[in-house]
Amino acid sequence: MFSRNNLLTVFDVYDQAIMSGYQSKAMSITTRGIGLSTCNLCFMSANTTNINPPIYAMYRVFLGLVEAKLASIKQWYYFVKELCYVYDYRVEPYLLEIPLAVALVPEPIKRIIDAVDVINYNDVQYIPVVAAQVYDEGKLVPRPENILLSNLRAVVVALSTKDTPTKYRTAFREYCPIPGAIWDNGDLLMNANEIIPEDYDLEGGLLNDMWALSAYLIRLRKEFPNIAKGPISEISPKLSAGTKASKAALVSRDMSWGKIRACLRNIEEPLEEYFKRCNPQVSSACSGEFNVIDKVVVSTHECLEGQAALLGEYPNEKMLNQNPVLNLYSLRHKNKDLSNIVIGM
């Protein structure tokens, strides 16, 4: 809930945008990069230090931090017209203010979270949002690109039951971002409770995960002192802040290019063995297939950061036609034929 002072500030943000002539656009953000980076971090850790990471707790914490940042943005920019297609975030923004959480973010993940920000370019204000969940006849359609902490349990449950049509489970597995996911031959997820327990609490469970991750990072820092440094970038409602934000999130790519997914864990495979090979899997060439929203000029660094973070993925055209919610990706999708990225200084 907003206090009276916060409400006045929120309205001021709206007035700022209107008076400055800014056009606000919802910029779809996807979260597969969180899972893929978690896999990469676990692979690096286990193979260079022999320290086995708490892989599932890590994934939950990182998803929670992304969701908290998106919730923080949404409370300031509630007036985006596409809000009906936006996910209803349930992790509270105050999570970003917990010192323990700030210290928990390894640099590869921090770069992704920092890129989730409001971007002002020329007269347009790009507001990062995650698409709402998709349903088919009242049943959840698990989607690999819009996983957050508060919907992770619902997603893994849907993937674990034959009540979810095989076509949806198969499509998810092909682009699966969940680290350490175990599947049977019929595309049923087998370790839902390991990924996130049935009784997981968004507050108590997340704090427990933070402590587990903190203990792991303390050990990891002895080998890699700079693995986690500096706080997550803050959200500022001032228009001037958006002009300084990284434009990495404007870099877009078709999710089907390259077919990148988290490394799948074999049935009954010990985590120690999985860590030795858990780098993300790429099934086809994926270089060069990128574009930028509205031909915005990006720096070389922002272009590379955007490609690595995968925040700008969008479903293919067939997926877009399935549900009105997926129209949220149209801003990225309409630029899919642009072969040039304008690189600035």
Q: What is the 3-state secondary structure (H, E, C) of 136-181?
A: ECCEEECCCCCCCHHHHHHHHHHHCCCCCCHHHHHHHHHCCCCCCC
pLDDT in tens, the chain (345 residues): 333 344 434 444 444 544 455 688 889 999 999 999 999 999 988 888 878 899 999 999 999 999 999 998 888 776 676 777 889 999 888 777 776 666 668 888 888 998 999 998 888 889 999 999 988 888 999 999 999 999 999 999 999 999 999 999 999 999 999 999 999 988 999 999 999 999 999 888 988 998 888 888 888 888 887 776 655 665 544 444 445 678 999 999 888 877 899 999 999 999 999 999 999 988 765 554 678 888 888 888 898 898 888 999 988 666 655 667 777 887 887 655 444 444 454
Amino acid, res. 281: Q
Domain, as residue range, for 313: 22-344
**Domain for residue 13, yes or no?**
no
Beta bridge partners of 298: 343
Global pTM value: 0.88
Amino acid, res. 142: P
Cβ-proximal residues to 305 (8 Å cutoff; 6+ apart), any chain: 111, 115, 246, 248, 251
**Domain for residue 115, yes or no?**
yes
**Domain for residue 14, yes or no?**
no
**Domain for residue 289, yes or no?**
yes
**Domain for residue 12, yes or no?**
no
Residue 42's SS3 state is helix
**Domain for residue 9, yes or no?**
no
Amino acid, res. 67: E
Amino acid, res. 336: K
Considering just the CA atoms, what is the radius of gyration of the chain in Å? 19
Number of structural domains (the chain) is 1
**Domain for residue 28, yes or no?**
yes
CA separation for the pair 98, 105 (Å, rounded): 12
Q: What would the two tokens of residue 46 be? A: 């286990």
CA separation for the pair 259, 166 (Å, rounded): 19
Q: Which of 24, 26, 110, 25 is nearest to 69 (CA)?
A: 110
**Domain for residue 253, yes or no?**
yes
